Structure 1
Amino acid sequence: MVEDPSTKRYQPRNYLELLERRVAYLEQILKQSRPDLADDHLLEDNAVRPEAQSPTSTIPTQSVEPQYTEFRDDDEHDRLDDLASQVGLLSLNAAGAEPHYLGSSSTFAFSRVINSSLRQVVLRKPSSETTGIPNQEGSATLPTPCLLPTNETAIRLSNAYFQNVHSQYPFLHEPTFRSWEATLASASSGFNSLISNPVALFFLNMVYAIGALLLPSSEEYSAERLYISAQLYVDHILSRDNLEAIQAILCCAVYSVRSSIGTSHWKLAGLALRQCIDLGYHRDARRLRSATADPLQMELRKRVFWCAYVMECQAAVMLGRPLGLPYQEVDAEYPMDIDDSYITNSGIYGTPRTSSSEPPTSMTKAILTFRIRRLLGQIHTSIYSKVAPCSSTQDAQQKCIDHLRNELEQWRASIPPEAPETGQTLALFTTPDWFRLEYDYTLLQLYRVQITDHKDETPDSVFIDCLEAAEHQQATRGRHSMSCSSQG
């Protein structure tokens, strides 16, 4: 650190060089979005190049053949890492303050990390069967982007998504999506009216990509190519660091968990959860009310948080890892139990469901799933943690287990009668067996430590309950596996 004689501020010795690099980077972003305003006078040959500013820039533009192109961007990653490290050391504080490093909370660093993860979802080695091009050992490829599907195909794909995924993870607003879809289908404007809306184009491609994973395979569309098409717009969304950025990550997490290849669902869910925490979505919205948030935004904030929380919680429990957010730190409200169509920017037009005796809405199953997954997280933290509060004494552990069992039974009692199935069942969540499977799984997690403890005598009733739960789970999952095999 040296003292600037004119300002008396302490700055790094290479402060001017860092500023020049920062200006060059910002001008490059401006050049991409508004070429008419850009004046990139600082960008030199050894500075940030257009192809290096974003990991997704290595994705090829739309084409028909070949369907897969080679993907090599190690040099670009090195330049990004170097730039991020140098930019991160700029002093953004008052005079005399030490430079602060802009780590994972900065938009630039976050976009660099998340883009690397998102590309892995469809990263694969080429083969002659899929591309007609001989495989080159060690070369990773990405599918090329594709055009959006025809209106008829698009409706089938989006219906598959909203009937089978949205009912479990309602982090999108269906009426908003349907308005984009209607604009796309319009003969007068169509795609041209959405060119200036990268948010709409991202979510259209992502919903269709997930729908393509759900529906039986067809040559009409490719889930992987639709996914890559969506990634063309992801930089714009992630740079906002807002509600839409979290929705984008959750879309990718849903795609990842349903795809046979790709990055870790646990990692993507964790990224979404940390973004929620960064924006305060894990806290009660009534105490952190934003003056600029409308009713629709307020509801979507609650939805994206609980979707991210239950995704990460389920993955952490299954992998035996600590929760990304302890349940004690969560006081966010559950979303309103009301259909999407009643929620608008201007207000809530309808009465939310408040009693288990009332007919279920499109949100009822999701909210019940949020509750059971939160209880699952509480069991995981209270019983399986190395510093579990239930493990202080045997009596304390038994009281804790009894309390958790009581909460589980209360949850089970609140399950509404099963509504008639509508549309094609493409996910286990939409079947009548879902709640029973969740109950059985949580019960087994609650008592697993007890039934394997040889020191203390466990009541026979616990063994009987666990045996019934295990038998029911095995039979149900086996039946659904056979059903899926016959449909495929």
Structure 2
Amino acid sequence: SGISRSISACQRCRKKKVKCDQRLPKCSKCEKAGSECIGLDPITGREVPRSYVMYLEDRVNMLEQRLRDKGITLDDQETTEIRNSKVKVEDRVLSKGSIPCESSSVIVKSISISSEKTDIHTLDESQHAPSIAFSRLMSTAVKIQKRSLSNLQHPLASKRFANNSGATTDPSNGILPAILPPKSTALQFISIFFTQANPQLPIFHREEFISKYFIPIYGYFNYEEVSIASDYTSINAAFFENENMKVPWTPWFEQYKDNFQSILGTNASKASNDEIKKISNSIIPPKQYRKGLFFLNIIFAIASSVNHLQYPISISESFRLAANKYFEEVNSSTDQLESLSAILTYSLYSTMRPSNPGVWYTMGSALRTCVDLDLHNESNSSSAHNIDSFTKEKRRRLFWCTYCIDRQICFYLDRPVGIPDESINTPFPTVLDDSLVYPNETIKDFSLLANSTPSYKTVFLSMLQMRKIQSEVQKVLYTSFELPRRYDGLDSWKKSILNRLGLWKQNIPKSRKEMNCDFNLNFFHLNYYHVKLMIHGLSPKNYKLSSNDYTQVKYAAKQMINCYAQLFSTKSINYTWAAVHNIFMAGTSYLHTIYNSEDARVDEPLHEVKRVSSDCLNVLNSLIDSCEAASHCVEVFQSLTMV
């Protein structure tokens, strides 16, 4: 059978200090004395009957022979064959009889798709026989993860930003910077950004963005023809009416078109896409337009990533490269809040797609800027008292945007947070719609004003509360943090955090009118079930799941998969590598409960297990083109569903 074992003196001979002949199943002295021959397991340190070791060997040989009798060969290629199999989930046998009943000795807490390390928690072995199939398949998952780590560095890459004279192509795939799109396309992208991205992270004040960045590039903005998170309110045109009415005035896009056509000449019909992009790249805009070009292009990149399945993969990256040419113009700005806005938009893009520089590097820059500007500590900042209310509001929203991205990434990747909650003394930004927030010397603090109009910032404040809950869950369950004295123990804290989580779900905005935009509510549900899974799942503070834990983990994981399946059906998945990480974790957690909990298995019909597994695989398959790690996750998950 190829099984090797450690042979040593039995315990009886050791105590009597006599030589043991180490015979199996009993040494001669124990056999002569009629006593049980006990050995010491060199791995666990437990006393094990030597006859039991031989019994296990005989049992394994017998089971292997049965497999051979049924035409199943056992060799070193077995795991590889399983992993490479392309059998459909619907055709696999997932019968109750084939699912192990006992707990596995090896449990993977989370195979982090974007992390550089593997987090594996080994539980004490059950007194019953362990689940050989499950532990073997999970071991396969770990091996594949190690193999794929070299492909998972994008989200955590630490390459520096390219400067203005730096790379204009992506050397890994030859993508060129995008050409500046026509005004109608730009408006579509901006509408998507302010509907799906800016409500979660309000980096930009809507009217200020139009005034500072859109109008100088594209010219007159007709606010009555497009909704920019303004479905039920009016845009405050007074904010940019001076720019709109400038005469005579030629926006950069018109100058860009003239330059482009003069270079292209009469060869327009013969020019390839790459040639057109190279011509566009050769046009150098005047300095006053470069900041606007950075922000517009990075927003186009984010907007095309919001519904990434609707666009070719290269579209978002080409806009990102176009923005990258002008990053230093913004980063070196004397307006440090503007520089921070640029870093945050880059970070937001990096959370959506694997890119260089990665989100870990960009967030480091954002957090350092926040500390340098004392944005996290408004109550103790001497300069805060001399800041006008409009600037103060901008400082607050940029800090809390930084906080949200930091907590989101740390929660996904089990990383330490940048600024501890105990060090933060900055109030939340106002919920008022941007049309009501403008430079006004008579208003001292916008957050003190009552709100009676729809506002997209209800989305942000709900997400902000969720990030605070996620931060607490990570701190309590995954660090050495000691519970506050008001809690009797971990169970008391769990009850409290689950109550707060339930209250959060009750209070999230539930209608388009309340949000003033068509924000996708699935993202609220996705975050809710993700946190529930983490609270009830395996963690350094919870090595043994109760029956209720198994039930809650199964339900939360299943709901996460359902949310992703709905996003997939509408082509609305926005975070690619994070989605791979989260849905793979949800899928493996779901199967783990089916494998190891009798109650969970009885409550889940076979056809439902097949459906959920199939949905999980469909979503992972859809992400392969945009995140290389997804292909390895598909292989692993297929292996797990074959038992």
When the two structures are superposed, what TM-score results if normalisation uses the length of structure 1? 0.62
Letter in 2 for 1:150: P
Aligned partners of 2:217 and 2:293 also within 8 Å: no
- In structure 1, the residue matched to 2:209 is 177
Q: Give the RMSD, CA atoms, in angstroms.
A: 4.0
Once the 2 structures are TM-superposed, how far is the Cα of residue 384 of structure 1 from its aligned partner?
0.8
Cα distance in structure 1, aligned partners of 2:429 and 2:481: 29
Cα distance in structure 2, aligned partners of 1:350 and 1:152: 37
Q: How does 1:13-412 map to 2 (within 5 A)?
A: 114-116=160-162, 123-126=170-173, 143-144=176-177, 147-179=179-211, 180-186=213-219, 188-191=249-252, 195-214=287-306, 216-217=310-311, 222-240=315-333, 242-285=336-379, 288-290=382-384, 293-346=387-440, 360-385=454-479, 387-390=480-483, 395-412=488-505
Residues 269-296 of structure 1: per-residue CA shift (max 9 Å, x gap): 2321221122111123585553553322
- In structure 1, the residue matched to 2:94 is none
- Greater relative contact order: 1 or 2 (C-alpha under 8 angstroms, separation 6 or more)? 2
Cα distance in structure 2, aligned partners of 1:202 and 1:413: 39
Once the 2 structures are TM-superposed, how far is the Cα of residue 330 of structure 1 from its aligned partner?
1.7
Helix, strand or coil: the match of 1:196? helix
Helix, strand or coil: the match of 1:431? coil
Once the 2 structures are TM-superposed, how far is the Cα of residue 328 of structure 1 from its aligned partner?
1.6
Query: Judging changes above 3 Å, is the alpha-carbon distance between structure 1 residues 422 and 321 closer, same or farther for their aligned structure 2 residues?
Result: closer
Once the 2 structures are TM-superposed, how far is the Cα of residue 411 of structure 1 from its aligned partner?
2.1
Cα distance in structure 2, aligned partners of 1:467 and 1:169: 31
- In structure 2, the residue matched to 1:444 is 533
Once the 2 structures are TM-superposed, how far is the Cα of residue 392 of structure 1 from its aligned partner?
10
Once the 2 structures are TM-superposed, how far is the Cα of residue 335 of structure 1 from its aligned partner?
0.9
Letter in 1 for 2:325: L
Residues 67-116 of structure 1: per-residue CA shift (max 9 Å, x gap): xxxxxxxxxxxxxxxxxxxxxxxxxxxxxxxxxxxxxxxxxxxxx97425
Query: Judging changes above 3 Å, is the alpha-carbon distance between structure 1 residues 337 and 289 closer, same or farther for their aligned structure 2 residues?
Result: farther
Cα distance in structure 1, aligned partners of 2:528 and 2:430: 23
Once the 2 structures are TM-superposed, how far is the Cα of residue 190 of structure 1 from its aligned partner?
0.6
Helix, strand or coil: the match of 1:206? helix
Identity of aligned residues (%): 21
Is there any run of 5+ residues in structure 1 with no aligned partner, and where? 1-111, 127-140
Is there any run of 5+ residues in structure 2 with no aligned partner, and where? 1-157, 221-248, 256-284, 575-621, 623-643
Cα distance in structure 2, aligned partners of 1:371 and 1:262: 30
Query: Judging changes above 3 Å, is the alpha-carbon distance between structure 1 residues 359 and 432 closer, same or farther for their aligned structure 2 residues?
Result: farther
Aligned partners of 1:143 and 1:228 also within 8 Å: yes
Residues 386-428 of structure 1: per-residue CA shift (max 9 Å, x gap): x221399994323333332233233223223322699997xxx
Letter in 2 for 1:123: D
Cα distance in structure 2, aligned partners of 1:452 and 1:322: 17
- In structure 2, the residue matched to 1:49 is none
Aligned residues between the structures: 353
- In structure 2, the residue matched to 1:465 is 552
Helix, strand or coil: the match of 1:290? helix
Aligned partners of 2:216 and 2:251 also within 8 Å: yes
Aligned partners of 1:383 and 1:391 also within 8 Å: no
Helix, strand or coil: the match of 1:224? helix
Letter in 2 for 1:233: Y
- In structure 2, the residue matched to 1:88 is none
Residues 309-343 of structure 1: per-residue CA shift (max 9 Å, x gap): 11121111211211122222222211100111111
Once the 2 structures are TM-superposed, how far is the Cα of residue 366 of structure 1 from its aligned partner?
0.8
Aligned partners of 2:301 and 2:319 also within 8 Å: yes
Once the 2 structures are TM-superposed, how far is the Cα of residue 486 of structure 1 from its aligned partner?
12
Once the 2 structures are TM-superposed, how far is the Cα of residue 259 of structure 1 from its aligned partner?
2.9
Cα distance in structure 1, aligned partners of 2:403 and 2:508: 21
- In structure 2, the residue matched to 1:431 is 520
Cα distance in structure 1, aligned partners of 2:429 and 2:355: 32
Aligned partners of 1:124 and 1:142 also within 8 Å: yes
Is 1:482 paired with 2:569? Answer: yes
Query: Judging changes above 3 Å, is the alpha-carbon distance between structure 1 residues 122 and 249 closer, same or farther for their aligned structure 2 residues?
Result: farther
Cα distance in structure 1, aligned partners of 2:394 and 2:176: 32
Letter in 1 for 2:321: I
Once the 2 structures are TM-superposed, how far is the Cα of residue 203 of structure 1 from its aligned partner?
1.4
Cα distance in structure 1, aligned partners of 2:427 and 2:526: 25
Helix, strand or coil: the match of 1:389? coil
Cα distance in structure 2, aligned partners of 1:445 and 1:363: 27
Letter in 1 for 2:564: R
When the two structures are superposed, what TM-score results if normalisation uses the length of structure 2? 0.48
Cα distance in structure 2, aligned partners of 1:350 and 1:290: 12
- In structure 2, the residue matched to 1:63 is none
Query: Judging changes above 3 Å, is the alpha-carbon distance between structure 1 residues 394 and 454 closer, same or farther for their aligned structure 2 residues?
Result: farther
Cα distance in structure 1, aligned partners of 2:295 and 2:572: 30
Helix, strand or coil: the match of 2:198? coil
Query: Judging changes above 3 Å, is the alpha-carbon distance between structure 1 residues 166 and 407 closer, same or farther for their aligned structure 2 residues?
Result: same
Letter in 2 for 1:280: D
